[in-house]
Amino acid sequence: MIDTKAISHESMVTFFIEGMHCASCVNRIETAVRDQVPGVRDVRVNLATHQAVVEGAISPAEIIQAIEHAGYRASVTPDGLDTHEATTTPDYIATRNRFLLSTLLTLPVFIMSMAHLDFPGVEWIQFGLTTGVMVCCGYPFFTAAFRQLRHVQANMDTLVALGTGMAYGASVATLFGVLKGPLYFESAAVIITLILLGRFLEAKAKDQAGDALRNLMALQPETVHLKQDSAFVEISIHSIAPGNILRILPGEKVPVDGVVISGESSINEAAMTGESLPVEKQAGSKVISGTLNTTGSLDIEAIQVGSETALARVIESVKAAQNSKPPVQRLVDKVAGIFVPVVMGIAVITFLIWWTLEYPMQLGVQAAVAVLVIACPCALGLATPTAIQVASGRGAQLGILFQEAQSLELAGKLTVLGLDKTGTLTQGSPAVHTIMNRTELDDETFLGWVAALESRSEHPLAKAIVAYAQAELKNTSGDDEPKIEQFHAVPGGGIVAKVDHEEWVVGSKAFLLSQAVTQSSLEKITVETKKRLGNADTDTTLDTMTQVWVGINDEAAGVFLIKDPLKDTSKDAVGQLKQMSIQPVLLTGDRQEVANAIAEQVGIDPSAVHAGVSPEEKQRVLATLKQQDKNVVMGMVGDGINDAPALAAADVSMAMGTGADVAMNTADMTLVDGDVAKAVTAIRLSRRTMQIIRQNLFWAFIYNVLAIPLAATGMLHPMIAAGAMAASSVCVVGNSLRLDKFK
């Protein structure tokens, strides 16, 4: 249970809100929470999910009180609960039932009115049936409007209650002889029925919009097979702890992130990475939660469990994106905040004009009711959040995790995209090709000592050297382990340490020079390396491989030549960026020759290659490009610790899911499987999403701009107005659902 009275220290709490039906509700709740509750740093209300996310040093009880004071009902969302599944579905069922009952009661009234049936007691039958509609089916509109009235507020429910109440009240007054004129029972009943139809279809569509999130949650099994002593027993997934041994049978979902201990199988990782081909797994292979075991049985050791798994992080990322707001939505909410009072004023003016011009009162009532009903800003409030909801869910299905809606909006506006080399354009699994050792140590000892230093680094090149050493030295005893002291890693440079009381430097040539290693010793080894490669006349082979240099006591002592092949999708991705009028820029700490070779292979212009740059210099390159052109929208794709400053500086940052945690924590979005082509997909999805949002907003605005004057001039019957209002919301949600088919 969450203590709603406690004040947390800079926490984030999610609330489920009942009674929201339009964009003005969103603005009113955000304003109430922000103005009435101290300590609130940010509040975001989402009409599509009926959730509010509040950040700051807050008391949940005070938040609930502020929301209720604004005329709505709120409750704290318990941790781990899928609120969309738990709360929207019952509301959807209740709306459906009210709509069906309302239809059953309204049809006879509509037929009697439209067919002009005249028999004794026909008016009283209409009165009885319409009263049933108002009391049994329309009561939520009136109770919500009354709550708003108590707090001197108004929203869509107020408009519906006023419109139908005027039609019903005038008809009752006429039936009892207080007024003279026609009856409007069919208008009141049909308006309620049509609005309920709209809400029913809207709820169904919004429920469908949450399918992606529910499908993600369904990827986690409820039970697992845990090894206890020598047997495997079935237990709840919530009882798993890191280090447990689990058995995954064919056809079962992987419940945790872990490592295969024994067994061989193929894992379908499409749900998490978007990769359609199964991946072979054997002892030592990593497995991720939410994937499907297809053929064999696997015994795995649980590494990350519960909220720490990849699947849990994906789900939380999707939820966060769906509950965040792009800049365009904040503007819409402000407009909608004053919309309802303005409409009520227009309705009053409409009635007074008709009355002043001495038209029959019933025509003025009819026009005012039509204005109230047609102007409900439902479509306006749903235009953006439903599109964001569907797009973020679809992005997760494609292996793209948006951290917030703003990045989903900005990605489509990118004009320049910075690309890291290692792990982004290349496979990120470099392999040692050649080692030059010019020390007194034998080759095995030299390799072992360098690997001991590199084992303390997270850089992909360091991992390549460690992996090579493990393979080459697997039969050695390891008795010659060096004594390492004063170890210091310089991001984007290399390593400095004392090894057996000698000063060792490992890194790029430029880094060794900065550490006072002599130029002549570096050049001497360069010449020897070229000769060994049989490439003395041309430096093509040597210079297109990454070089990791070793220096001891101011003298170059050796070099590791490392190859890192391009990813299969890199060239095509760069080509697509160019077709989209986005300039690709290569940023790498590697040498200019290697960077130029990679750029030539993928199609990046030589003028857009920045080699030998440190993490801070990558950041400065992006800043310089923005200074040169104020209209530049800058993106950055990277996977390592050395990319974090550039990722933080970019307008839109994308981290490879196969990279360092700090890169993913810094970035606006994560490309789960580390495929650079997904960056192109993310940009395309952003552009498509913004296109859908613009269509939705155009429809919502033009609908009101055209419909209100028609209603005010008596050219729109209230029943038609109700149908059009309901249709507008359904059209907006339906248009957003098209994003679910994005490829």
In a domain, 687, yes or no: no
Cβ neighbours of 655 (radius 10 Å): 31
Q: Which of 196-200, 512-516, 574-578 has the lowest mean pLDDT?
A: 196-200
Q: How far apart are CA 406 and CA 409, in angstroms?
A: 5
Q: How far apart are CA 571 and CA 302, in angstroms?
A: 37
**Are residues 507 and 442 located together in one domain of the fold?**
yes
The predicted pLDDT at position 377 comes to 66
**Are residues 467 and 551 located together in one domain of the fold?**
yes
**Are residues 407 and 525 located together in one domain of the fold?**
no
Q: What are phi and psi of 40, to 5 degrees?
A: -75, 120
pLDDT in tens, 452-499: 999 888 777 888 899 899 888 876 655 567 888 888 888 777 899 998
pLDDT of 682 > 90? The answer is: yes
Last residue of a domain, one of 260, 288, 304: 304
Look at phi and psi of residue 307 and say left if phi exceeds 0, alpha if psi is from -120 to 50, else beta: alpha
Mean pLDDT, range 282-290, rounded to an integer: 88
- Listed in sequence order, the residues at least 6 apart from 285 whose beta carbon sits closer than 8 Å to its beta carbon are 259, 260
In a domain, 144, yes or no: no
Helix (H) or strand (E) holding 19: none
DSSP helix, strand, coil percent of the chain (3-state; round to 5): 55, 20, 30
pLDDT of 326 > 80? The answer is: no
- Six token digits for residue 46: 């989402």
- State the helix-helix crossing angle for 677-712 and 339-356, rounded to 10 degrees: 20
CATH of the domain at 667: 3.40.50.1000
**Are residues 532 and 512 located together in one domain of the fold?**
yes
Which of 324, 224, 241, 313 lies closest to 272, judged by CA?
313
pLDDT in tens, 606-646: 999 998 887 788 888 888 888 888 788 999 998 766 677 88
pLDDT of 120 > 70? The answer is: yes
Place of tokens 């810094």: 666
Helices (H), 504-660: 509-514, 519-532, 540-543, 570-579, 592-602, 615-628, 644-649
Look at phi and psi of residue 200 and say left if phi exceeds 0, alpha if psi is from -120 to 50, else beta: alpha
- Six token digits for residue 554: 């101011």
130 in Cβ contact with 5 (< 8 Å): no
- Cα–Cα distances (Å) from 537 to 76, 90, 533, 714, in that order, read 73, 77, 11, 90
pLDDT in tens, 354-398: 988 878 777 887 888 888 777 766 777 778 888 888 888 888 888
Q: Which of 203-217, 296-310, 482-496 has the lowest mean pLDDT?
A: 203-217
The residues annotated with a catalytic role in the active site are 420
Q: Where are the beta strands (DSSP E) in 320-469?
A: 400-402, 416-420, 431-437
Cβ neighbours of 186 (radius 10 Å): 23
**Are residues 543 and 656 located together in one domain of the fold?**
no
**Are residues 442 and 556 located together in one domain of the fold?**
yes
577 in Cβ contact with 596 (< 8 Å): no
Mean pLDDT, range 10-18, rounded to an integer: 84
CATH of the domain at 245: 2.70.150.10
Q: What are phi and psi of 625, to 5 degrees?
A: -60, -40
Last residue of a domain, one of 540, 563, 586: 563
Residue 337 pLDDT class (50, 70, 90 cuts): low
Q: How far apart are CA 295 and CA 536, in angstroms?
A: 52
Residue 513's identity, in one-letter code, is L
Which of 640, 642, 705, 647 lies closest to 674, judged by CA?
640
pLDDT in tens, 705-736: 788 898 888 888 777 877 777 778 788 888 98
In a domain, 371, yes or no: no
pLDDT of 84 > 50? The answer is: no
Q: Where are the beta strands (DSSP E) in 639-687?
A: 652-656, 669-671
Place of tokens 């609908």: 703
Q: What is the mean pLDDT of the chain?
A: 83
In a domain, 249, yes or no: yes
Q: Which of 145-154, 276-285, 549-558, 676-685 has the lowest mean pLDDT?
A: 145-154
**Are residues 591 and 540 located together in one domain of the fold?**
no
Comparing 598 with 542, the larger pLDDT belongs to 598
558 in Cβ contact with 436 (< 8 Å): yes
Mean pLDDT, range 298-327, rounded to an integer: 79
CA quadruple 106, 109, 115, 121: dihedral, nearest 10: 160
Q: How far apart are CA 429 and CA 422, in angstroms?
A: 8
In a domain, 214, yes or no: no
426 in Cβ contact with 565 (< 8 Å): yes
Last residue of a domain, one of 655, 672, 689: 672
Tell me whether strands 494-499 and 40-46 are parallel, antiparallel or unpaired. unpaired
In a domain, 663, yes or no: yes
Q: What is the DSSP string of 281-311?
A: E-TT-EE-TT-EE-SS-EEEEEEE-GGGSHH
Residue 666 pLDDT class (50, 70, 90 cuts): low
Place of tokens 């909220």: 307
- Six token digits for residue 17: 């809100």
**Are residues 515 and 474 located together in one domain of the fold?**
yes
**Are residues 444 and 559 located together in one domain of the fold?**
yes
Q: What angle do CA 432, 438, 440 make, to 5 degrees?
A: 120
Q: How many helices (H) and strands (E) does the chain have?
A: 29, 26
Which of 243, 255, 313 lies closest to 288, judged by CA?
255
**Are residues 548 and 611 located together in one domain of the fold?**
no
739 in Cβ contact with 389 (< 8 Å): no
**Are residues 465 and 412 located together in one domain of the fold?**
no
pLDDT of 105 > 90? The answer is: yes
CATH of the domain at 525: 3.40.1110.10
Q: What pTM was computed for the model?
A: 0.69
The predicted pLDDT at position 1 comes to 42
In a domain, 643, yes or no: yes
- Six token digits for residue 596: 């130029």
Residue-number span of the structural domain to which 530 is assigned? 437-479+493-563
**Are residues 444 and 543 located together in one domain of the fold?**
yes
The predicted pLDDT at position 273 comes to 64
CA quadruple 88, 91, 96, 101: dihedral, nearest 10: 180
- Beta bridge pairs of residue 281: 265
Q: Which long-range contacts (CB under 8 A, 24 or more apart) does 594-601 make?
A: 594/421, 594/543, 594/544, 594/545, 594/546, 595/421, 597/543, 597/544, 598/421, 598/425, 598/426, 598/566, 601/566, 601/570, 601/571
Overall number of domains in the chain: 3
In a domain, 183, yes or no: no
